[in-house]
A and B are shown apart, each in its own frame.
Chain A
Amino acid sequence: MLYRRTAQVFVELADTLVAGFDVIDFLQSLAERAVEIFDVDAAGIVLADPRGTLTLVAASSEEVRLLELFQLQEEEGPCLDCYRSGVAVTCADLSADPSQWPRFSAAARELGFSAVHAFPLRLRDQVLGAIGLFNAAPRELPEDTTTVAQALADVATIGILNERTLREQQVVTEQLHFALNSRVLLEQAKGMLAERAQIDVGQAFTALRKYARDHNRTLSSVARELIDNRTGMTDLIAAAKLIT
């Protein structure tokens, strides 16, 4: 069952790696699908900013405190350890050893998470970031799940680099920077829509996503148009007001 669902997702993701590809759309789908495939309660993807910090680029839910939990890991947590070591970091029960990541564990448990698993986004000997999976109940990941999760992380790497053959380090740097900046632009658009439609930023994300899908457009292009056209996109504003 795990394999069949996974195979479907890989096919879907492969479909997105074509013309008109949007890295944010891709990573967003990947985070949402990870929740389904691995039967976890939340998933997120962090990338290493070339300046030297980990930054969240996509999450299965835009719940503010979940986003903060990922962002917190620029200082400590399983995603940071995974990024630094380049190997999977799993913790079946955060309460077993609260001293491992005191701030992260406290914040995660406050949000109702007990187990966390992080897999590296690797390219040869370089680590680009990590995908983090959270469970409400304590949970050990079975070995086959671990294998598939790493495969999914590898697919994420391919998507970010968006290149069939990677010869050049410079391309890696350029793509990474581009992906990170695309997320910043999405946050700015969320804020702008939240204000124009008088909704909260989480709802603004839902509205942007729905609009992009309904109009067969990428999330980034919708975000961009909203920012560039401050009085336009009235259909999006009207739809967003109905979200509440």
Chain B
Amino acid sequence: MEKQRTARVWGLIFAHARADGLPISIDTICHACADAFGAAGVTIALTGDLAGYEPVSVTGPAAHRLADLQVTLGEGPGPAALADRRTVLVPEVDRSETATRWPVFAPAAVKAGLRSVHVFPLLLGAIAVGVLEISHTVTRLLTPDEIGDALIFADAALLIQTHQLVNPDAGPTDLQLGQVERWAEVHQATGMVAAQIDADLTTAFVRLRAHAYVAGRSLREVAHDVVARTLRLEPWTPNLESED
């Protein structure tokens, strides 16, 4: 069921990339997601060293307004989802609880014509690279099926952002491409590699995936070898400081 969902969502993303004649990027995912949900706006914001919440791709004028507000105020469902590393679903923006939680953001969002916002962090354990926000002009809660799709869009953004190397010949049914692995060994291997190369988990995850890609093997196979200690990754660059 998840595999079909993954293939379907990636199919939408690929179709967009083909129509644009461009490789898949964060923008592709943002636009494909907006189409799929008939959303008033979709925003993908990333978290970096300089800014905690930095919108990098936004569709629709209302979402632009929403993103600007959240950047300026530092409050709203997007920054909240990033800070708490949690899914934040706001089916009714103009409800008193929402206004209590975000006193400046909530009325401004209503004024911009938005009535519901669903935020999904780009998250894999301790790895958090940003958020995907889907907003509508009507009060609504996404259905469980829609939430499942939204999470796959968020997974896709996480993979692209962590430098997924997209093979131009790959298709949407190429599961190597689409799935954020839920097998425990992949996460264990990520932790092990982080210690081996003395880097954070995001970097370790990128290294692990790059290794699998270059070796033409599945992420699970590579992770298995790391956990079994038949494969070790070394730090990227030699330590030059000792020459000083």
Residues of A whose CB lies within 8 Å of any CB of B are 49-53, 55-56, 67, 71, 74, 169-170, 173-174, 177-178, 181, 184-196, 201, 224, 227-228, 230
Contacts and interface: CB of A to CB of B under 8 A. Distances in A.
A177 B86 contact: yes
B192 A192 contact: yes
A173 B125 contact: no
A50 B147 contact: yes
A49 B144 contact: no
A120 B156 CA distance: 31
Interface stretch (B49-57, B164-172, B193-201, B210-218): B193-201
A178 B86 contact: yes
Given A177-B86, A195-B192, 19 more contacts: A49-B2, A50-B147, A50-B151, A51-B152, A52-B2, A52-B5, A52-B148, A71-B183, A181-B85, A181-B123, A187-B125, A188-B190, A188-B194, A189-B191, A191-B187, A194-B191, A194-B192, A201-B188, A227-B201
Given A190-B188, A227-B126, A230-B195, A50 B141 contact: no
Contacts of A186: 125
B156 to A, nearest CB: 12
A230 B201 CA distance: 10
B70 interface: no
User: For the complex, would chain A's binding face be called helix, strand, loop or mixed by DSSP majority?
Assistant: helix
B231 interface: no
Contacts of B190: 188, 191
A173 B123 contact: no
B148 A50 contact: yes
Interface in B88-108: 88-91
Contacts of A189: 126, 191
Contact of B182 (A55, A191, A228): A55
Interface of B: 1-2, 5-6, 85-91, 123-127, 141, 144, 147-148, 151-152, 155, 182-184, 187-196, 198, 200-201, 227
B191 A191 contact: yes
Contacts of A177: 86-87, 151
A170 B141 contact: yes
A184 B187 contact: yes
10 contacts: A50-B147, A51-B155, A52-B1, A177-B87, A181-B125, A184-B187, A185-B125, A191-B193, A191-B227, A192-B194
B88 A174 contact: yes
Contacts of A192: 191-192, 194-195
A195 B155 CA distance: 27
A210 to B, nearest CB: 18
Contacts of A71: 183-184
B96 to A, nearest CB: 14
Contacts of A174: 86-89
Contact of A190 (B86, B91, B191): B191
Contacts of B189: 191
Given A50-B147, A181-B123, A227-B126, A187 B188 contact: yes
B222 to A, nearest CB: 13
A155 B189 CA distance: 33
B188 A53 contact: no
B205 to A, nearest CB: 9
B182 A53 contact: yes
A51 B9 CA distance: 11
B228 to A, nearest CB: 9
Given A177-B87, A230-B194, A169 B187 contact: no
Contact of A187 (B6, B85, B147, B184): B184
Nearest to B199: A230
A193 B195 CA distance: 8
A196 B195 contact: yes
